[in-house]
Amino acid sequence: MANYRPDDRSKPWDVVRYLRMSGDQQNKRSPDQQNDVIDERLQRSNLPWVTNQTYRDEAKTGRMLRNRPDFNRMLADVKSGIIPARYILVDTIERFGRNEDLDELRRRLFRKYGISVLCADQDFADPNTQNGEAAALLENFRARADSRVKRHNVIRGKRDKIRLGFWPGSKAPFGFSLHVVRTEPRGDRLVRHSHLIHHEVTAAIARSVFMKSVRNPSMGQGALAMWLNERADISDEFKPFHADTVGRWLCSPIYTGELVWAEYSTDIVDDMRILERNPDDEVMRVPNFCEPIIEKAIFDQVGQFREARRTNRSITEAGTRRQVGMTYNYMLTGLVRCGTCGASMVPNGSSAYVTAAGEERRYVSYICAKSYTGLCTNKAHVKEDWLRETVIEKLRERLFPVDSNEGEPPWMTEIVDLVKSELARTHSERDVSRPALAREMSQLEEQTVGWSVSLANSGLAARLRQKIESDYASALDRIAEIQSLLNRQDSEFRQVSEIVNPSEVTSRLNRLSDVLSKDCPTLCNLMLSMHIESIVVSDDGQIVMRTCKLGSCPESMHWCGENEAEREAITSPKDRHCTQPRRRVRIATEDLASGNEDSHLREIAEHVTNPDRFAGMPDDWFWTDRFLIPEKSCWSKDNASAVLKRYLELQSKTGKKPSCNALAKEFGKSRPTILQALDYAQCDHDESTTKHRRASTVKIKGNVEVERRIEEMHDAGVLEKDIASEIGTSRSSITAALKRLYDQRGLQKPDGRATRHQD
């Protein structure tokens, strides 16, 4: 870097340390060992640097950034100045990470904040000199190359095991178990070579799923999972079954005895794990790898049925740009959660249809994703349009009160008090008193002045000189530590004023108001997720919405929340059927903005997709609103009185029973809707007898003669609609009669839908 002047390393610079281990199978003492190495190198180099904070991530891969909580907390602290730091110390550059984006991150930290990343294995060499830059590039390349070499060696070994007929590794697929054929000692560990064999219990379960799918082609993976969960003959140790799991079974050729390996590979792109299909020449296909559980013909037939049911195919046209990230059709996606199991409630829509008035309509409701497979008892349905309007109305009521003055929201004072109270609580927990620290530092400085005079005495005894030098060094270290604590307090109080800046908060609220007025569900979801923690729907119809008062100040949340252990305790599932909230899929922001605004939206997207963004924050930092799902209604019920009134007017005017078709045309509805409205009206007004429905002329249930005729005609192959015409009743009545007939015979009534996809 031009005109760069290296730091004077003999000064007591403020530093932080970062320790990391990649996986659970690594040495548990690895972070402690890294810390010891940093201590040894500092002492060996005689560097008087002051460590203000140590950050530690355990079992976190270095290839990603956002999955490392302490790493991100460290960056937020040093950037904001809450933790003063000139250097970030790590054992090796691999501990800082193996992501290609880290090169740019290191440069940005130095250029914008004056913070450098130093490695103990390089004796904390300055990476900003020409030699240091070259060494840093080489080290970063070596770290990434080391990962590629390890990956190549692992894949080579797995391919060799497959060629020898052994299972390449990992857990055996459902329905199989591993039979150890031979063992091979390699150093201090024992390598087992195994074959796949049928599991005595789960193989039958897997086969039954394929056979059920063949017999019932209309059953999708969700219905099959529910069927498995409801089976009493399956032990609870294998439950629950999930729809996605069943779907993977149905498309896995291992159940036909063929192993297909390395069909996909994973990679990290833009700090996001992606799945890519490998070229065909890299995919290993081994027929007769193990004994099949089902026949190839059955597997192919199930595949054909699944393809026939698949209506939402993703067809990528040639030359089209592939979108990175998710876009939403509904602005509350990801915010609505089930109060029973904790799973996300997903928007489920009916097929679009055209009303009698020519209007295209589609009903969308939020339902628990686990209720599909019988894993959750919450059957509540919440209409999307009603919930959206209710939530926005309540949010406007909270954030934009009618009696608010221009400029500053009325709850701004409350936010300032909350932040200052939290800051005071944090300081009290640290047992830090600013006046006490100032007094202690003043006393130490006075002592050091006296010690300096004593050390200047050439006739001072050697033993006494050694004692004074030791006390002098300890006092200097303590003075540096106190100064760091005082600087941190100053930084925190300064950040409080920045966090709750009224003009900044007002600006963000105005932006939220503008966004809510636009028809862009994805952008609305981003803004709403900054304020709304969750919208929890219980099976009794009660809805609880928690809104963070600091939603307009997301910068405060990384230090206002509790520690990581408390976060995990708060978000951990209560039992095995409860769902642990996961980070949402990255939201596509490219089409929402451009340039610097896109970069800002990406930062917001990273924040709001984190399910723990509000974890550990005190309850008094939230508004809690409760409301009930409205009673289900429909047009027929709401307009029953109006339809009845018009019916009676026409009847009085003409002296005849009005035509329901004419009423349907007049109201712009269908005939069944008008009939249902008159049914509701007649229930509410017992004195009115409209006789709008044709009275049944034939009684079927209990009428032996009629039931015998229906049985004879059905056995002769007459269609249900023709039987209904012959008997003089509705088709639904014939269907019910035939169902009773088959129940008497102890058989299941044939369903034409079961053979719909066999053409």
Phi, psi of 55 (to 5 degrees): -110, 145
Residues forming a β-bridge with 14:
50
* CA 38 – CA 89 distance, rounded (Å): 8
* Closest to 211 in 3D by CA, of 177, 255, 178, 174: 255
DSSP state of 117: E
Q: Give pTM, 2 decimals.
A: 0.68
How far, CA to CA in Å, does 212 sit from each of 260, 472, 572, 750? 24, 82, 36, 15
Mean pLDDT value across residues 155-173: 91
Greater confidence (706 vs 427) lies with: 706
Q: Which residues of 422-454 are buried (b: 16+ CB within 10 A; e: fewer)?
A: bbeeebeeeeeeeeebeeebeebeeeeeebeee
The residue with tokens 């129940």 is 743
pLDDT over 70 for what percent of the chain? 83
**83-126 pLDDT per residue, tens:** 889 999 999 888 888 776 777 888 888 888 899 999 998 889 88
CA 598 to chain CA centroid, nearest Å: 22
Q: How confident is the model at residue 68 (pLDDT cuts 50, 70, 90)?
A: confident
- What are the tokens at 411? 């709850």
* CA 345 – CA 334 distance, rounded (Å): 7
> What is the C-alpha R_g of the chain?
35
Dihedral angle computed from the Cα positions of residues 57, 63, 64 and 70, in that order, rounded to the nearest 10 degrees: 20
The reported pLDDT for the residue numbered 178 is: 94
pLDDT over 90 for what percent of the chain? 26
Name, in order, each residue with C-beta under 8 angstroms of 76's C-beta and a sequence gap of 6 or more. Answer: 82, 555, 558, 559
Greater confidence (528 vs 63) lies with: 528
The reported pLDDT for the residue numbered 301 is: 93
The reported pLDDT for the residue numbered 435 is: 77
Mean pLDDT score of the chain = 82
218, pLDDT greater than 60: yes
- What are the tokens at 190? 């024992």
Greater confidence (438 vs 490) lies with: 438
Neighbouring CB atoms inside 10 A of 233's CB total 7
668, pLDDT greater than 70: yes
The reported pLDDT for the residue numbered 754 is: 57
188, pLDDT greater than 90: no
The sign one gets for the Cα dihedral 578, 580, 585, 586 is positive
253, pLDDT greater than 90: yes
23, pLDDT greater than 90: no
The reported pLDDT for the residue numbered 90 is: 94
* CA 12 – CA 483 distance, rounded (Å): 11
The reported pLDDT for the residue numbered 317 is: 40
Mean pLDDT value across residues 510-538: 85
* CA 322 – CA 590 distance, rounded (Å): 12
Mean pLDDT value across residues 47-63: 87
Greater confidence (132 vs 719) lies with: 719
Please tell me the least confidently modeled range out of 53-62, 201-210, 472-481, 631-640: 472-481
Q: Which amino acid is at 549?
A: K
The reported pLDDT for the residue numbered 433 is: 66
Element (H, E) at 131: helix 130-163
The reported pLDDT for the residue numbered 187 is: 77
Where in 253-354 does DSSP place strands (E)?
259-261, 264-269, 272-277, 284-286, 336-338, 345-349, 353-354
Q: How confident is the model at residue 195 (pLDDT cuts 50, 70, 90)?
A: very high
What does 573-605 look like in DSSP terms, one character per residue?
Answer: -SSTTSPPP-PPPPBP-TTT--THHHHHHHHHH
> Where is mean pLDDT largest: 146-160, 197-211, 564-578?
197-211
Element (H, E) at 666: helix 660-667
Q: What is the 3-class SS of 403-434, one letter each residue?
A: CCCCCCCCCHHHHHHHHHHHHHHHHHHCCCCH
The residue with tokens 């009676």 is 648
The reported pLDDT for the residue numbered 496 is: 61
* CA 115 – CA 528 distance, rounded (Å): 34
**557-595 pLDDT per residue, tens:** 655 554 444 444 444 444 556 777 888 877 777 766 655
404, pLDDT greater than 60: no
The reported pLDDT for the residue numbered 462 is: 83
* CA 390 – CA 711 distance, rounded (Å): 54
The reported pLDDT for the residue numbered 257 is: 95
**341-353 pLDDT per residue, tens:** 999 999 988 777 7
Q: How confident is the model at residue 339 (pLDDT cuts 50, 70, 90)?
A: very high
Where in 250-381 does DSSP place strands (E)?
259-261, 264-269, 272-277, 284-286, 336-338, 345-349, 353-354, 360-361, 364-368
How far, CA to CA in Å, does 602 sit from each of 70, 517, 591, 607? 20, 21, 12, 9
726, pLDDT greater than 90: no
Greater confidence (504 vs 138) lies with: 138
The reported pLDDT for the residue numbered 516 is: 77
